[in-house]
Amino acid sequence: MQLLSSSIGRKIVMAITGLLMILFVVVHLIGNTTIFGWISGGINAYAHHLHAFPPLVWAFRAFMLAAVSIHIWYGIQLTIENRGGRSQPYAVKATQKATFASENMIWTGLLLLCFIIYHLLHFTMKVVPGMALVPDAEGAINVFTMVVSSFQNFFVAFIYVAAMVTLFLHLSHGIQSFFQTMGWSTDRTLPVYVKAGTLVALVLFLGYVAVPLSIFAGILKG
């Protein structure tokens, strides 16, 4: 509790929860790319194995929900404090120029929250209209058909691509900010972290948009 009473303590908590979400984004991307068929059975097999043990799935979802909630809560708090001029400095001070991404972290974060809600309504709860819900022989939804039918819709594909642009902006600053918050960044190493963070964010962006764009362009068909 003493850690959370200071802004630097809350920044550290934000950095750790942010790291957890970055790791999830990486693993989630690997799962998404199974739609290209690099594993036997493709994304349908991946979805089947992923949901083979429902209690574990829901426990993980609860854990990630807690991490996201904490990240958002302290993000809003720190943004208000920063604008009020009451924030504490990073553990190691490093010279850094403000960028569009760094100045709009709160807004890209809130936009990503809106997208997460939409994404859960779309592919988890399956209440977004316009996608084909075709059951297989065992009664499970054909995930490949569901995803393809969704991204054939321009507006759905646009929403996902726009969300990935937002994710790129958020991560391009957030990754290097993690090292700065943890006190592992100096004037000499900061440019390296900035470039590495941008590169990782770009790779994730390209990986994620490859799915909706390949489907909308007709490269990947149901």
- Distance (Å, whole) CA 57 – CA 92: 38
68: Cβ contacts below 8 Å, ≥ 6 apart: 17, 21, 113, 116
Tokens coding 162: 């726009």
Lowest mean pLDDT among 59-73, 90-104, 176-190: 90-104
For each of the domains in the chain, give its residue range(s) and CATH number, in order of start.
2-83+98-216 (1.20.1300)
What secondary structure letter does DSSP report for 39? S
Q: What's the pLDDT score for residue 92?
A: 47
Q: What's the pLDDT score for residue 4?
A: 77
Q: Which of 98, 109, 108, 121 is nearest to 73 (CA)?
A: 109
Tell me the three state secondary structure of residue 135: strand
pTM of the model: 0.91
CA–chain centroid gap for 185, Å, is 24
Q: At what angle do helices 154-181 and 190-216 cross, to 10 degrees?
A: 170
pLDDT tens readout for residues 103-147: 999 999 999 999 999 999 999 999 998 899 998 777 889 999 999
